[in-house]
Amino acid sequence: MGFASFRVRRPLRILGLLTAAVAEPAAAQDEYEQAPDLHTLEDLPASGIPVDVRVRSDTRFVLGSDFGSSDANLYWPRGSVRVGVPLSKRAAVRFRVNGGAAIYDFDGTTNLFGQGPSPGEPFDDLYSGSFAFEGMYRMSNTWALISQGFVTARWEGGAAFGDSISGGGGLALGYRIPNRLELILGVGLASTLDRSGPRPYPLIDLEWQITEKWRFRTHGEGASVEYEVDPAFHIFLRGHVESSRYRLDSRPGPGNQPGSASRGTVRDRQILVGLGFRWRVHPNVRIGAAAGVMAYDQIKVRDKSGNNIQSITADPAPYIELRIDFLP
């Protein structure tokens, strides 16, 4: 059976290999370095078609986050290119390149580096990029073997790029009941920027077709409920967590000595809940938007040995997201 008919019969679609921690105590979550959110192997081309290329661009705006002594707006543009290649009737691979930036605009004073309140921007723009390899081998109509590997870099403008790189990989088994349930369970191992050594992470993904129109799915560190208005238009309610750690540039301390946060890390952890839609306006173009509340936003700074220095937490703030996909 080729991948074309595999799609028609609702293949085991990997709509977000979970590369984030499942629910843990708060202290354990503080220690976790989230890997890229990998979307793998849905809608791969039929065997015999050379490649499947998809391009995505999305942007998030967070308006008026109140950190107490400082307010901040966040502009977060991101993009990705995915290239899928069928290898046989049972196997396929995908390569994915992601890039983005987190651009904060602070107004007020912050005390993130343990040296007292200071005005202006506490850090420069934050950048990220990753390269991922994803593969699937279909063992039967019910079971599939899934693999992933990734290298990612996250850094503050001016920081040493070589100190900003982490990576990992994992294996999982996929199981499906056609037209009803798709489940992925596995485990991976990833390095972190706090230099504490590799750590395991779970690979868990669930998609449940509740009725013909309603669907529940997990994706990343979150979940959504979706309703199909028609085949081209879907609406959804989604809640999810995003957590990214970035390498900081060198910073002076008292007496022109290196500051405690010099070449340390800054982590931005967010919890978002929102309503949105996806609309396929053309066979090759899909647009989407979402709006809601960022219920939690914590920025935490550590030194280069992984010791906590300071953190600030914002009150809930509204956000909006815009997205466009170019499809084959």
List pLDDT tens digits, range 278-295: 999 999 999 999 999 999
Q: Which tokens is 312 given?
A: 């600030």
Alpha-carbon gap, residue 322 to 254, rounded angstroms? 43
Query: Residue 234 sits in which domain range?
Result: 3-326
Phi, psi of 259 (to 5 degrees): -70, 165
End-to-end CA distance of the chain: 21
Task: Look at residue 37 and give its three-state secondary structure.
Answer: coil
Pick 242 or 31 by higher pLDDT: 242
pLDDT at 28: 32
Q: Per the confidence metrics, is the pTM higher than 0.85?
A: no
Q: Are 238 and 276 in contact (CB under 8 A)?
A: yes
For the chain, percent of residues with pLDDT exceeding 70: 81
- Work out the burial of residue 179: count CB atoms within 10 Å of its CB; fewer than 13 is exposed, 13-18 middle, 19 or more buried: exposed
- Work out the burial of residue 265: count CB atoms within 10 Å of its CB; fewer than 13 is exposed, 13-18 middle, 19 or more buried: buried
Looking at the 3D structure of the chain, how many domains does it have? 1
Q: Which tokens is 37 given?
A: 């959110």
Task: Look at residue 89 and give its three-state secondary structure.
Answer: coil
**Mean per-residue pLDDT for 218-230?**
90
Give the pLDDT confidence of 133-175 residue by residue, as tens digits: 888 888 888 888 989 899 999 999 999 999 999 999 999 898 8
Alpha-carbon gap, residue 226 to 60, rounded angstroms? 21
CATH number at 232 reads 2.40.160.40
Give the pLDDT confidence of 302-314 residue by residue, as tens digits: 988 888 888 999 9
